[in-house]
Amino acid sequence: MSNKFDIGRLQEQFSHKNIISLEDITAFYREKEPSIPKTTVSWRIYSLVQQGELQRVGRGKYSFGETRHYSPKINYKMKKIGQLIKRKYPFINYCQWELSSVNMFSQHLINFNIHFVDVERDVVESVYYGLKESFSKVMHIKNLYDNLSEFADSIIVRPLVTDSPVEKKENTYIASLEKMLVDLCTDREFISFQGNEIYHIFQNAFDKYTVNKQTMLRYGGRKNKREEVDRILKTINRQ
């Protein structure tokens, strides 16, 4: 790697910090190059991220190491749901995810699975009935009346918060890890996870993958739950 990146000295100078800000990196390069333009610093940061030396963990926030992206497997059921929504509701925003995904982060494993399909609020009812035509166990979130374990193997249709962090994979849209974590700690249907378990889930998620805290806080804010999300984020050891 070119000496202009000075990665060895960069790592040495910030080895005591888990999070490095854009201002930190700019000041670092200006120690030797006082007139270096911000655009050049931005280009160097971009290059370091691409090379796996830095990972972006928030707006203007970085840490050392390669980005570890959460990318769950798209199973047959998810593909089928994605195809149905694309065919019947081609213009709506939606995402889907499975509760069993939580097992890779939780201390206490769950032995059942639930499939969540989040769609624009105005079409929740329509999508609910549309899915019922093709799947045997479909539940509208407003009809949820008991512990989630009572609805094992069901599809639960929920309203999608505007500007939710979602990702496209294999022609369907899935919830990002940031969305999953925020939903788990704020939505009433996940109350069974919201004791000590949620802290294990958050910590393990941050240990395994690159998680964007700013995305989580922004999404939490759209749900009027920013303070709750921030309180849990402040317990993460990567702080």
Full-model pTM: 0.80
If asked whether residues 55 and 114 sit together in one domain, one would say: no
Is residue 239 domain-resident?
no
If asked whether residues 54 and 95 sit together in one domain, one would say: no
Residue 41's contacts (CB-CB under 8 Å, 6 or more residues apart) are: 22, 25, 26, 29
pLDDT (tens digit, 9 = 90+) per residue, 192-224? 899 899 999 999 999 899 899 989 999 999 999
Give the per-residue pLDDT at 190: 94
If asked whether residues 178 and 201 sit together in one domain, one would say: yes
CATH code at position 47: 1.10.10
If asked whether residues 42 and 101 sit together in one domain, one would say: no
Q: Which domain range does residue 163 map to? A: 76-233
If asked whether residues 121 and 10 sit together in one domain, one would say: no
pLDDT (tens digit, 9 = 90+) per residue, 167-184? 999 999 999 999 999 999
Residue 96 phi/psi, 5-degree rounding, is -140, 155
If asked whether residues 50 and 101 sit together in one domain, one would say: no
**At residue 101, does pLDDT exceed 90?**
yes
The count of domains in the chain is 2
Q: At which of 64, 96, 115 does a domain end? A: 64
Distance spanning both ends of the chain, measured CA to CA? 29
If asked whether residues 91 and 45 sit together in one domain, one would say: no
Q: At which of 64, 88, 103 does a domain end? A: 64
If asked whether residues 134 and 219 sit together in one domain, one would say: yes
If asked whether residues 60 and 83 sit together in one domain, one would say: no
If asked whether residues 36 and 139 sit together in one domain, one would say: no
Is residue 209 domain-resident?
yes
